[in-house]
């Protein structure tokens, strides 16, 4: 028995930005300084005999 799996997250690699800074009076107020991970692809092959 042979199985092959392909799992993909964010396949089109579109940016997923974090929330903007919300503390008034800081240098990062209103700026987005974080982002989620980019494209992640995992390939697995299972072979049983």
CA 44 – CA 21 distance, rounded (Å): 39
Kindly tell me the number of DSSP H helices and DSSP E strands found in the chain.
Answer: 0, 2
Q: Which residues pair with 43 in a beta bridge?
A: 6
pLDDT of residue 11: 84
pLDDT of residue 31: 92
pLDDT of residue 47: 86
From first CA to last CA, the distance across the chain in angstroms is 7
With a cut of 70, which residues of the chain have pLDDT below it?
A: none
Domain residue limits, the chain = 1-11+35-49
């Amino acid at each position: 028995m042979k199985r092959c799996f392909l799992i993909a997250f964010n396949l089109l690699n579109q940016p997923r930005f974090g929330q903007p800074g919300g503390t008034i009076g800081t240098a990062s107020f209103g700026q987005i300084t974080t982002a989620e991970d980019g494209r992640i692809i995992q390939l697995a092959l299972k072979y049983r005999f």
